[in-house]
Amino acid sequence: MTSTPQPASVAALPLLGLFQRLIERGATLGGRDYLDGLCALEAGYGGCDPGRLRRLAEILWARTEEDHRTIAQWFAAITPLPEPALADLNEQLRQLEDRPQSQQPGPQSMPSAPGAPAPVAANPGVADAATPQDDPATPRALLAIAPASTGQGLGLPRLEANPPLLGSYGLQPRPVLQMRQLALLWRRLRRNQRLGVKQELDLQASLRARCEQGVLLRPVLRPCRRNTAKLLILADASPSMAPWLPFLKVLEASLAHGRLGDAALRWFVNVPGTTQQLSQQELLRRFAGGAVLVLSDAGSARGLQSRRRVRRTKAFLDTAADWGMQVVWINPMPAKRWIGSSAAQIEEGPVLMLPLDEANMARAVDYLRGAC
Amino acid sequence: MAAPFPYKSFSAEAATDYVTTPEVAEIVNLAIHLSRPLLVEGEAGCGKTLLAHAIAAVLDLGDVVAVTVKSTSQAKDLLYRFDALRRLQDAQDPTNEKGRYVHPYIHLQPLGNAIASGKPCLVLIDEIDKADIDFPNDLLDVLDRYEFEIDDLPAEESALCADDPNKGFGRVVKAKPGGAKPIVVITSNREKPLPEPFLRRCLYIQLTFPTDPALLAKIVQSNLSRSGEQIQESLIHHAVQEFLAVRQRSEECGLQKPPSTSELVDWVRALHWQQRDQTNVSASELRPADHAILLKLQRDLETWKRPSDSEAPG
């Protein structure tokens, strides 16, 4: 009678705590990535040296600064074993390796030297046995050798004081939406038409001609399908919009990747349409029938209310409507800040005003393409 | 019984024509072992493409299967091509039996061939950032499973195509049992950001410009030995020192394209041809020919020629 092999204990899985912590912090890792880590360890990568193990984790799982920081913190949290204990542990492991496979005791029956820490892993941090009472992301070795506290059981690691605000915070500016997200949004704005030089093979027409005439003198060609959608972005360059200037730069750069028929970003101050680069009439003519995305706080950043500004803005929106334009207003200030400012009055007018985030940008694009 | 691992180990020492570090070699070996694509990034001219050739040379893989990506490239172009026009022409002839089928007009392309052959080889996808932003995502699944489906091949012709001695693949193309997966090296100049799932799938190497003069001199000598050129060591060492000064000033001036290793190698060659020596090679007195080799952009050249604050007349 054969006994069913027991599945490997979750507690014995190497680097699982680190892997889980990376996922908790937003790294898009999957099971395949973890299995690759196990394969690499099995093949001898990572070795028995925490430095090499950390490097392996970085090679396989770190793609951003945040990932690197998480891995560094995780390894820094591992308190190295005292030298005598480490030597003793290595000696035990060496003896185990010397024995034949069949005589090797299970992890439960491993001999432990007096005074040595619990032999939870061949290498501190490699097997981070996550028992139910432990934090699964905390290296087991740290808990195993932490000094016993006044109560019973394992001493929990505690900070002696609040951590100093030194160099462990890597503040990196990130746009509200990445270039790639924006490019994909623009690609939803499609109005395909066959225009230009006939260069694409029209298989159906060619077959039809062959059937009708009995012979095909030359294949029938047709123009390629092109996106004729137009998008005009009017961005407010007034000082209150300064915090969003980096995002607006990304927005401008993303237009090149949107595969739009015509796209441009023009700046204005306070009232859309008052651009200096191109007269309003020329701009309206160029983007007639297209989509217009206005990005402005409309006075909500400072809580200002200006009747003149509202009147002139509404006049521009009416003109845009006359030219067949669909307009959406993106206000980067939170909606609760619009109350009592010009933004609230503009919102009441004939324009859809939305806050700036990914979901609302997608909604804006849907509106501009007539999908809602 | 599992087939033996088809690839040797790559080591920095074994790469005689390419100077690299053990850290890079470790990442290369991991990528090979885990069958994951290797993404190599770094500024233009820092040796990304040459790394792929060095790996192929050390691992005895023969010629690199190189695919240079263009702005119009699609992921499908790397896998297969369907010659619809030829089929249409052939179909006009009622006696042409070939034209009745699709599979004679399906031709596997470099990556598709490498996957189907199951032989150890290295596929270089050069400058992936030149392609459209969908390109990496479309390749993701192929590079994950090392198999793909030929959408243009009707399912009923799959067996026929697999039995064709000139084709030997069905609608689903994958390596024969026990076949090797190709090593895939992808280079990027980071002109466009790559999607995160793609970055996650690849193992990543960032080649940085070496600042150690001895290492730079070794890189130059390695490049020159590849082409069999003999140049005085004293000239190489002096050129490297001056080049580092040029490079430092480039960074201070904020040049868009600071000269990199490929420019250094070309410069040393040019200095040798011009029979210049240590007395007339100086970063502070570059000649027009030096400008042409080291500075590739007109704007960078203008910035370079502009006197610095310390040199400007008060």
pLDDT score of A167 more than 60: no
Q: What is the phi-psi region of residue A5: left when phi exceeds 0, alpha when psi lies from -120 to 50, beta otherwise?
A: beta
Tell me how many residue pairs between chain A and chain B have CB atoms under 8 A apart. Answer: 54
CATH number of the CATH domain containing A313: 3.40.50.410
pLDDT at A124: 41
Are residues A217 and A272 part of one domain?
no
Number of domains within chain A: 3
Are residues A248 and A291 part of one domain?
yes
Higher pLDDT, B115 or B6: B115
The token pair that represents A339 in the structure block: 């109350």
pLDDT at A126: 43
Are residues A294 and A208 part of one domain?
no
The beta strand positions in chain B, using DSSP E, are: 38-42, 65-68, 80-82, 106-108, 122-126, 147-149, 172-174, 183-188, 203-207
Candidates A97, A58, A93; CA nearest to A74 is A58
| Residue A162 in domain | no
Residue type, B171: R
pLDDT score of A117 more than 50: no
Are residues A288 and A268 part of one domain?
yes
Among candidate residues A32, A48, A76, the one where a domain is terminated: A76
The token pair that represents A20 in the structure block: 């889980």
Weakest mean pLDDT among A169-173, B31-35, B96-100: A169-173
pLDDT in tens, A174-224: 678 888 889 889 988 888 888 888 988 898 888 888 888 887 788 899 998
Confidence tier at A275 by pLDDT (50, 70, 90): low
Candidates A224, A229, A225, A223; CA nearest to A187 is A229
A5 DSSP 8-state letter? P
Are residues A201 and A69 part of one domain?
no
Using DSSP, state whether B311 is helix, strand or coil: coil
- B5-35 core/surface letters (b: 16 or more CB in 10 A; e: else): ebbeebebeebeebbbeeebbbbbbbbbbbb
> Kind of pairing, strands B172-174 and B147-149?
antiparallel
Candidates B308, B189, B180, B175; CA nearest to B252 is B308
For chain A, the residues whose C-beta falls within 8 A of a C-beta of chain B are: 28-29, 32-33, 36, 39-40, 43, 45, 55-56, 59-60, 63, 178-180, 183-184, 201, 203, 206, 210, 215-216, 219, 257
From B26, B84, B200, residue closest to A203, measured CB to CB: B84
| Residue A185 in domain | yes
Q: Are A351 and A327 in contact (CB under 8 A)?
A: yes
Q: Once rounded to an integer, what is the mean pLDDT over residues B58-76?
A: 90
Q: How far apart are CA B87 and CA B93, in angstroms?
A: 10
CA–CA distances in Å: residue B220 to residues A42, B51, B53, B224, B231: 38, 15, 17, 6, 10
Q: How far apart are CA A144 and CA A120, in angstroms?
A: 8
Are residues A199 and A253 part of one domain?
no
| Residue A119 in domain | no
pLDDT at B309: 52
pLDDT at A9: 52
pLDDT score of A129 more than 60: no
Q: Exposure of B71 by Cβ count < 10 A (0-12 exposed, 13-18 middle, 19+ buried)?
A: exposed
Q: Once rounded to an integer, what is the mean pLDDT over residues B197-217?
A: 88
Among candidate residues A76, A98, A118, the one where a domain is terminated: A76
Interface test with B, best of A23, A29, A32, A211 (most B CBs within 10 A): A32
Mean residue pLDDT of chain A comes to: 77
pLDDT at A276: 57
| Residue A142 in domain | no
Candidates B149, B175, B151, B171; CA nearest to B160 is B171
Q: How far apart are CA B200 and CA B188, in angstroms?
A: 15
Confidence tier at A255 by pLDDT (50, 70, 90): very high
Are residues A239 and A219 part of one domain?
no
pLDDT at A163: 59
Confidence tier at A353 by pLDDT (50, 70, 90): very high
CA Rg value for chain B: 24
Range of the domain at A67: 12-76
A222 DSSP 8-state letter? E
Are residues A206 and A268 part of one domain?
no
Weakest mean pLDDT among B134-143, B146-155, B220-229, B268-277: B220-229
Contact B92 A257 (CB under 8 A): no
Q: How far apart are CA A283 and CA A273, in angstroms?
A: 8
Are residues A318 and A185 part of one domain?
yes
| Residue A283 in domain | yes
Confidence tier at B3 by pLDDT (50, 70, 90): low
pLDDT score of A120 more than 50: no
A352 DSSP 8-state letter? E
Cα distance from B251 to chain A (closest Cα, Å)? 22
Mean residue pLDDT of chain B comes to: 87
Helices B22-34, B48-58: crossing angle, 10 deg rounding: 70
Residues of B in contact with A29 (CB under 8 A): 200
| Residue A199 in domain | yes
pLDDT score of A225 more than 70: yes
pLDDT in tens, A50-104: 888 899 999 999 988 889 999 998 888 876 666 666 677 667 767 766 665 444 4
Contact B34 A39 (CB under 8 A): yes
pLDDT score of A121 more than 70: no
pLDDT score of A30 more than 70: yes
Confidence tier at A137 by pLDDT (50, 70, 90): very low
Are residues A61 and A186 part of one domain?
no
| Residue A345 in domain | yes
Residues of B in contact with A206 (CB under 8 A): 88
Are residues A240 and A335 part of one domain?
yes
Residue type, B240: V
Q: Are B271 and B230 in contact (CB under 8 A)?
A: no
Q: Exposure of A251 by Cβ count < 10 A (0-12 exposed, 13-18 middle, 19+ buried)?
A: buried
Are residues A280 and A206 part of one domain?
no
pLDDT in tens, A143-161: 333 344 444 444 455 666 6
Q: What is the phi-psi region of residue A125: left when phi exceeds 0, alpha when psi lies from -120 to 50, beta otherwise?
A: left
DSSP symbols for A70-118: HHHHHHHTSPPPPHHHHHHHHHHHHHHHHS-GGGPPPGGG----TTSPP
Element (DSSP H or E) covering residue A330: strand A326-331
The token pair that represents A274 in the structure block: 């008052």
pLDDT at A161: 64
> Kind of pairing, strands A326-331 and B65-68?
unpaired
Q: In what order do the strands lie in the sheet containing A230-236?
A: A262-268, A230-236, A291-295, A326-331, A352-355
pLDDT in tens, B78-93: 999 999 888 888 888 8
A11 φ/ψ angles, rounded to the nearest 5 degrees? -65, -25
| Residue A124 in domain | no
pTM of the model: 0.65
pLDDT score of A123 more than 50: no
pLDDT at A97: 63
Model ipTM?
A: 0.78
The nearest alpha carbon in chain B to A179 belongs to: B193
Among candidate residues A76, A95, A128, the one where a domain is terminated: A76
Length of chain B: 314
